[in-house]
Amino acid sequence: MNRARQFGTLIGLVGLCFVLWILTPYFLTVSNLLNVAEQTSINAIVAVGMTFVILSGGIDLSVGSIVALAGVVLGLALHDDRSLGVALTLTLGAGAACGIVNGILVSLGGLPPFIVTLGTMSIVRGAALLVTEGRPISGFASSFRVLATGRAGFIPAPVIATATVYLIASLVLTRTTFGRYVYAIGGNEEATRLSGVAVRFHKTMIYGVSGVMSAIAAVILTARLNSAQPIAGMMYELDAIAATVIGGTSLMGGEGTLAGTLVGALIMGVLRNGLNLLGVSSFLQQIVIGGVIVVAVLLDTVLKRKHRG
């Protein structure tokens, strides 16, 4: 059943591409498709973490703020003349730390994830603004910027990073006990706990994964803009949730795949790109994107009902 739904999303993406191919000659060119892939990478990576969290029955509203804080940590470290390795370690560490704090509050504190991450969304954003006094940190060496501007052959570095993240994350999700537990916790947390799984520990780690993904996205964003902005990443949580849900992951947890999320992120990226190419007014764009989210989820729900008979 899962497979059928995923193909549904993929068919949606291909259909969207087909429509754009008819409507504009600029859409289906190599350079534009690479352009879309590059633009989608940041949301796609944040959405990996979001998928882990939603699969486990939670939600993470703090991802955008973590992108900002991790970016700021990265910017400060680089301006402090740390080596790239040290700076990246600090950045991923900051992301992981934020995520683990979310996880501890959810699992040990027993608080609803919506409330916890709503709180940390504000706290983490405030911290990013406080550290930088609201100002962006900008101007980095090209040895760092290559993480966004570099190309392997003709493929942009962010696209390679995204593919790597998805391959590793789906290995973790489908081939490790941790991955199984993510689904199990989302499917039935109580039953999982009773069968001897350390649910609290694993939930904490799940939010940690989300934090790390936000930090990876922050690296790409900072390299792309050549600037770490404390106001970066606003509303990223909504884009990531949209990609996850369009991709067929159930907000109730326990059901969904990373392939679906990738396709969901690409649908949003292709749509934004296509609407730009067509010169659609930015107000109309918001309506269309919102409409697609609703229709995608509606289709998904209808299909699901049919399959269940």
Partner 1 sequence: MGNVILALILLAALPALSCNRGNSLPGAGGKPTIALVLKTLNHPFFVDMRRGAQEAADRLGVTLQVQAAEREIDVEKQMQIVENLIQTGIQALAITPSGSREIVSALVKARDAKVPIVVVDTRLDPKAAADAGVRGETFVGSDNYEGGRLAGEFLVKATGGNAHVGVLEGIPGHETGDSRLRGFRDAVKSSPGVTIVASQPANWERDQGFNVFQNMLQAHPDIDSVFACSDLMALGALEAISAAHRTGTIKVVGFDALDDAKKAIAAGTMEASVAQFPAEMGRVAVESAVKVLHGEKLPPDINVKLELVTKDTVK
Among 46, 56, 158, 166, binds partner 1 (CB under 8 A): 166
Q: Closest distance between partner 1 and the C-beta of residue 88, in Å?
A: 20
Measured from the CB of residue 226, what is the shortest distance to partner 1 in angstroms?
Answer: 5
d(CA 266, CA 243): 8
What single-letter amino acid sits at 254? G
Element (H, E) at 117: helix 113-132
Does 45 help bind partner 1 (rule: CB under 8 A)? Answer: no
Nearest to 58 by CA among 189, 209, 252: 252
Q: Nearest distance from residue 111's CB to partner 1, in Å? A: 27
211 burial class (0-12, 13-18, 19+ CB within 10 angstroms)?
buried
User: What is the smallest separation between the CB atom of 196 and partner 1, expressed in angstroms?
Assistant: 26
**Segment interacting with partner 1 (CB under 8 A) among 22-30, 110-118, 189-197, 296-304:** 22-30
Size of the site for partner 1 (CB under 8 A): 62
Binding mask 55-94 for partner 1 (x = CB under 8 A): ----------------------------------------
Q: Of 110 and 153, which CB lies nearer to partner 1 in the complex structure?
A: 153
Instruction: Give dist(CA 12, CA 263) in Å, integer.
Output: 9
Between 95 and 233, name the residue whose CB sits nearer to partner 1.
233
Closest to 73 (Cα-Cα) out of 86, 64, 58: 86
Instruction: Give the per-residue contact string, 229-268, with partner 1 (x = CB under 8 A; - = no).
Output: x-xx-xx---------------------xxxx-xx--x--
Count of CB atoms situated within 10 Å of the CB of 85 = 8
Contact residues for 244 (Cβ-Cβ < 8 A; gap 6+): 47, 50, 51, 54, 256, 261, 264
The string over 132-147, giving b where at least 16 C-beta atoms fall within 10 Å of a residue's C-beta and e elsewhere, is beeebbeebeeebbeb
217 belongs to the binding site for partner 1 (CB under 8 A): no
Contact assessment for residue 218 and residue 233, using Cβ atoms and an 8 Å cutoff: yes
Distance CA 272, CA 289 (A): 8
- The H-or-E segment that residue 101 falls in is helix 84-107
- How far apart, in Å, are the Cα atoms of 12 and each of 67, 250, 299? 29, 18, 10
CB of 205 to partner 1, least distance (A): 20
Q: Which is nearer to partner 1, 113 or 233 (CB)?
A: 233
Our finding on whether 272 is near partner 1 (CB under 8 A) is yes
Q: Considering only residues 109 through 148, tell me which ones interact with partner 1, judged by CB under 8 A.
A: 133-136, 138-139
Binding residue (CB under 8 A) for partner 1 from 152, 153, 283, 308: 283
Q: Element (H or E) spanning 137, and its range? A: strand 137-138
Among 20, 42, 98, 296, binds partner 1 (CB under 8 A): 42
Which residues of the shown chain bind partner 1 in the complex (CB under 8 A)? 3, 6, 10, 14, 17, 24-26, 28-35, 37-39, 42, 133-136, 138-139, 149, 163, 166-167, 170-171, 173-175, 221, 224-227, 229, 231-232, 234-235, 257-260, 262-263, 266, 272-273, 276-277, 279, 281-283, 285-286
